[in-house]
Structure 1
Amino acid sequence: MKISIITVCYNSAATIRDTIESVLAQSYPDIEYIVVDGASKDATVSIVSEYDGRIAKFISEPDKGIYDAMNKGVALATGDYVGILNSDDVFKDASVIALLAEELKRQPDIGAVYADLVFVERTNTDAVTRTYSSAGFSPWKIRFGFMIPHPTFYARRELFAQLGNYKINYRVSADFELMARFMSKGVTMARIPATFVKMRDGGISTTGFWWRVHQNMEIVRACRENGIYTNLAMIALKVPFKLASYLKR
């Protein structure tokens, strides 16, 4: 079973090496690693080029944003399952993809899987700041803005052709929309009770008041486009749930 892992990047020289090394360190042998760069102006391309022969496919060209780049990666993928590892994230350890493949082989009819991730400090990926657990996720929670952690999401490659790619007219929530769409179309999904990814704090969709507002507006739009009733007031109810989870820790 081949697993395609896609990293999209733009001016990611500060973190891209960590990401690449975490993929190349995986113990599972049948990995297709694809890097899609948006014509970076820093040292990103030269860093990626150091791994020539170890990265299956690498392109660097202008794009229409992160989701356009993800779609380019999906189009290049030939694996049975496809997932995204962002250019400032790393796998928790070298056994992540082996564990993923083991679960997929155990459930051959599954459409997609997901797991947990942890947020870490930008300058120290061993310093965990909080946990993003998918243990309590249920599809009915989508209407309140809850979703599984996208960096842990792996789906059958043919589902993208059947159900569509990431919508590039979203700025920060096309990943939410795609996963909501897959679920609303009846794709079977299973949780793997393990931590897959370390995600650096400070991503564009997790900081800043106005980005939060825009993100929530896109979540409402994504739900409505997929026949899921919600509104901004319902999305706002997510806040006390998150506060409660912090207090439990």
Structure 2
Amino acid sequence: MAEPATISVVTICRNAAQGVARTLESVAAQDYPAIEHVVVDGASTDGTLAAIERHGRRLSRLVSEPDRGIADAFNRGIRLSTGRWVLMLNMGDAFIGTDALRRLSEGTGTGARIVSARARCGARMLPRYRVTDWIGPMLRAHLAHQATLVERGVYERHGGYDESFRIRMDFDFFLRVLPHERVEFIDRCLVEFEPGGVSGREFLLHWSEGRRALAGNRSGAFQRALYEAAFIAMGCERLLR
């Protein structure tokens, strides 16, 4: 029987001491037998490193040094990791149950190069729809990166995350690679993360960088119009809260 492929969980953070126990214990509790956990810390000053030392019993590698932003930290984590599959689980995020990685890994035997499930953010489920080939590139690119396995070869073929993006680098990445790579979608919620991250706080930047990602990946007029309509609806929803 073949050995299971190693999954590299990459966790980036800076001054995130309160989320360390939640994330590291969540990874350590997974029943998948071949996990590499890499933490890339952006030179935290708030006790994050001490918390990592307390809870990092299954940690494979820790690097703490200044970075140039989220995309730079993501790319650094990819370079430091060695597994065939890579998953980005930010500090404060957590797997739902001890079998989340095992369930994701079940999709890797289909020939897919990207395997994605749903993630829960507060009361919202992301993505809100089932990801299939026919829904179009803009909707397909709204995968929850916290619940997505990416085969290392995808990064080797298409490059990593564009460091010119402050927050929408994952959307840009999926827009770039999904037309060329097969995706397996698992209709199950396997990760939860707290609302109020940088994307939630900077609504206008989130919108403008999404527009730039669509333009840079030559998305058609219908896809761009759909994006604008979705953000108008999202803005109205925020005002009504």
Q: TM-score, normalised by structure 2?
A: 0.87
Q: 2:114 aligns with which of 85, 107, 112?
A: 112
What is the deviation of 1:196? 1.3
Structure 1: runs of 5 or more not aligned: 121-128
SS at match of 2:16: coil
Write out per-residue CA displacement over residues 54-90 of structure 1, whole angstroms, 9 at most, x where no aligned residue.
Answer: 2111100000011111111000111111010011111
Q: 2:212 aligns with which of 208, 211, 221?
A: 221
In structure 2, what is the equivalent of residue 169 of structure 1? 164
Distance 1:54 1:88 in 2: 17
Given that residues 113 and 153 in structure 1 are in contact (C-alpha distance below 8 angstroms), is that contact kept between their aligned partners in structure 2? yes
Which range moved further: 43-52 or 64-73? 43-52
1:23 is matched by which residue type in structure 2? Answer: V
1:177 is matched by which residue type in structure 2? Answer: D
In structure 1, what is the equivalent of residue 95 of structure 2? 91
Q: TM-score, normalised by structure 1?
A: 0.85
Structure 2: runs of 5 or more not aligned: none
Distance 1:46 1:238 in 2: 41
Given that residues 143 and 229 in structure 1 are in contact (C-alpha distance below 8 angstroms), is that contact kept between their aligned partners in structure 2? no
In structure 1, what is the equivalent of residue 77 of structure 2? 73
Distance 2:124 2:26 in 1: 20
In structure 1, what is the equivalent of residue 59 of structure 2? 55
- Give runs of aligned pairs for residues 149-164 of structure 1, distance below 5 A: 149-164=144-159
Distance 2:230 2:39 in 1: 34
Which range moved further: 168-177 or 150-159? 150-159
2:207 is matched by which residue type in structure 1? Answer: N
Q: 1:199 aligns with which of 161, 171, 193?
A: 193
What is the deviation of 1:50? 2.4
1:44 is the counterpart of 2:48: yes
Q: 1:179 to 1:146 in 2, by over 3 A?
A: closer
Distance 2:213 2:231 in 1: 19
Given that residues 36 and 60 in structure 2 are in contact (C-alpha distance below 8 angstroms), is that contact kept between their aligned partners in structure 1? yes
Distance 2:151 2:130 in 1: 23
Aligned residue-pair number: 231
In structure 2, what is the equivalent of residue 212 of structure 1? 203
1:187 is the counterpart of 2:178: no
In structure 1, what is the equivalent of residue 26 of structure 2? 22
Given that residues 80 and 157 in structure 1 are in contact (C-alpha distance below 8 angstroms), is that contact kept between their aligned partners in structure 2? yes
What is the deviation of 1:218? 1.1
Instruction: Identify, as 1 or 2, the structure richer in helix.
Output: 2
Distance 1:223 1:179 in 2: 11
SS at match of 1:22: helix
Given that residues 5 and 82 in structure 1 are in contact (C-alpha distance below 8 angstroms), is that contact kept between their aligned partners in structure 2? yes
What is the deviation of 1:102? 2.1
